[in-house]
């Protein structure tokens, strides 16, 4: 099947239509802050969105900037991350 501009437009229309009808409202969809988006992306790796929704605001309250996270002790970051699993993600973040 050839990729043509018409097929691309149709595909986009289907995807965007589905999103408009079924989208879920998440806090990370209301920001353009790169740090907040990065935190959400790392949290969402192999973790259900419903679990991230609970932890995301508290994590950002505790570490509101990349600087505050960089200065934090590993044990404090892991304590804030608890319940999300795969703690290596928190350490890498």
CA distances from 91 to 6, 12, 62 (A): 45, 37, 15
pTM for this one? Answer: 0.82
CA distances from 40 to 2, 49, 85 (A): 36, 9, 14
Reported as a single tens digit per residue, the pLDDT across 7-44 is 999 999 999 999 999 999 999 999 999 999 999 999 99
Which residues are known catalytic residues? 41
> Could you report how far apart the first and last alpha carbons of the chain are, in Å?
41
Angle between helices 49-62 and 34-44 (to 10 degrees): 140
Reported as a single tens digit per residue, the pLDDT across 37-88 is 999 999 999 999 999 999 999 999 999 999 999 999 999 999 999 999 999 9
Q: Where are the domains of the chain?
A: 27-92
Tell me which architecture the domain covering 27-92 has in CATH. Orthogonal Bundle (1.10)
For residue 31, what pLDDT is reported? Answer: 97
């Amino acid at each position: 099947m050839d990729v043509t501009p018409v097929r691309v437009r149709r595909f986009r229309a289907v995807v965007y239509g589905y999103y408009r009808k079924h989208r879920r409202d998440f806090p990370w969809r209301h920001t353009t802050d790169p740090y907040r988006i990065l935190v959400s992306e790392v949290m969402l790796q192999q973790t259900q969105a419903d679990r991230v929704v609970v932890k995301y605001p508290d994590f950002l309250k505790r570490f509101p900037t990349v600087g505050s996270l960089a200065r934090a002790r590993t044990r404090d970051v892991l304590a804030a991350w608890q319940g999300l699993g795969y703690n290596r993600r928190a350490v890498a973040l």
